[in-house]
């Protein structure tokens, strides 16, 4: 799958003839990341002695620019029944770490049959995302090579109401995370399920609570070269709590914050696999944002994220290697346009 697939979908949506409007959204993100490659404190110290760890970058941080284009169109509307399609294409550029630049896209089809009643299919593609330079242990014990992976993620989501302004969503997903030829020993098939409860409160906003359960299977375990002798399979449990204020605000159209924490446990039990055996981590993300709607077409959002991963292992060096802190700042400008001149 290449980037032209999603561009063709965008063009197709624009050419479909129907009496419903065609909605176009273009957004620009400008941001800063203080730890682009998610280095631990120990790795930051070692990078001063081994420049190859940086993959050609001269700094640990970077400014980031992103552009997103999204088209949405209702294909069928009859009473409360509606079928709509949307597709988006995204480009991301890292000013101080070009290896991190990537593109992604998605396609969504949603069928609605009333308020808070819909079923949705989504397909997402993330292309050649650079992690960092790792040692290629199939070749040597010190040869660093760039490590990239590609995601293909498919989900089915059902949303239904419980009572007035209270609804839930159930989702099942299948994610293929496959690495480039140098690191196929990392390949994963990830199956996950998600449940989300949402409550709309008058003169306040929306509170949601979400739980995720995931199982990642290392499909190349014991199937490729020497380095595939280690099992990288894991299980995960995640909770997510977003709170949005969008009522009775004088200046901003929305203010919000969210907490997200993933607990991951690796399946490996081999005594010679110190990096994965008995290892687990807690990954906490705290997001805060404010948004202002300038007019019917233009909206600006400023947000920040703090991320902290704490790794637990029987080995001190694993705890130090796999724990890190990260901070991001973002400014998003979103422009919307509706074409209905049929």
Q: Residue 313: in which H helix or E strand, if any?
A: none
Question: What is the bridge-based pairing of β-strands 118-135 and 298-312?
Answer: unpaired
| CATH number, domain with residue 303 | 2.40.160.40
pLDDT one-digit tens code per residue, 276-333: 889 999 999 999 999 999 998 999 999 999 999 999 999 999 999 999 999 999 999 9
What pLDDT sits at residue 79? 87
Q: Is 94 exposed, middle or buried (0-12, 13-18, 19+ CB in 10 A)?
A: buried
pTM of the model: 0.91
Average pLDDT, the chain: 90
Q: Is the pLDDT of residue 245 over 80?
A: yes
Number of separate domains in the chain = 1
What pLDDT sits at residue 130? 96
Q: Which residues pair with 68 in a beta bridge?
A: 27, 90
For residue 155, what are the domain limits? 3-339
Task: Report the percent of the chain where pLDDT is more than 70.
Answer: 92
**Signed CA dihedral, 262, 171, 168, 242: sign only:** positive
Alpha-carbon distance of 44 to 23, in angstroms, equals: 45
Look up tokens 């008995």; give the residue: 278
**Total H helices, total E strands in the chain:** 3, 14
pLDDT one-digit tens code per residue, 4-18: 565 565 556 555 555
- Please report which confidence band the pLDDT of residue 2 belongs to, taking 50, 70 and 90 as the band edges: low
pLDDT one-digit tens code per residue, 45-93: 888 777 788 888 889 999 999 999 999 998 888 888 999 999 999 999 9
**By the 8 A CB rule, do 158 and 194 touch?**
no
């Amino acid at each position: 799958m290449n980037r032209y697939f999603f561009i063709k979908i965008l063009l197709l949506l624009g050419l479909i003839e129907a009496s419903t409007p065609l909605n176009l959204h273009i957004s620009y993100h400008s941001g800063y990341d203080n730890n682009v490659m998610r280095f631990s404190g120990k790795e930051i110290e070692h990078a001063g002695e081994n420049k190859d760890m940086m993959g050609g970058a001269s700094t640990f941080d970077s400014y980031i620019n992103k552009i997103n284009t999204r088209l949405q169109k209702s294909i069928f509307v009859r009473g409360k029944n509606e079928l709509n399609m949307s597709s988006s294409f995204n480009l991301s550029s890292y000013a101080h770490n070009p290896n991190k630049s990537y593109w992604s896209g998605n396609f969504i089809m949603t069928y609605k049959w009333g308020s808070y009643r819909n079923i949705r299919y989504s397909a997402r593609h993330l292309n050649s995302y650079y992690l960092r330079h790792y040692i290629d242990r199939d070749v040597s014990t010190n040869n660093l090579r760039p490590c990239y992976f590609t995601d293909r993620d498919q989900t089915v989501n059902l949303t239904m109401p419980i009572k007035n302004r209270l609804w839930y969503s159930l989702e099942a997903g299948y994610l293929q995370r496959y690495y480039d030829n140098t690191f196929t020993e990392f390949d994963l098939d990830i199956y996950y399920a998600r449940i989300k409860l949402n409550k709309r409160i008058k003169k306040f906003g929306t509170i949601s609570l979400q739980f995720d359960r995931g199982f990642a299977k290392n499909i190349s375990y014991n199937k490729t070269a020497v380095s595939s002798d280690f099992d990288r399979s894991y299980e995960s449990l995640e909770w997510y709590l977003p709170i949005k204020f969008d009522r009775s605000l004088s200046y901003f159209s929305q203010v919000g914050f969210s907490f997200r924490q993933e607990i991951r446990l690796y399946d490996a039990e081999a005594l010679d696999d110190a990096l994965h055996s008995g290892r687990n981590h807690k990954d906490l993300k705290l997001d805060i944002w404010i948004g202002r709607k300038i007019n019917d077409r233009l909206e600006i959002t400023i947000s920040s994220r703090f991320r902290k991963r704490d790794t637990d292992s029987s080995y001190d060096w694993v705890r130090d290697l796999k724990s890190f802190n990260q901070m991001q700042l973002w400014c998003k400008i979103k422009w919307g346009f509706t074409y209905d001149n049929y």
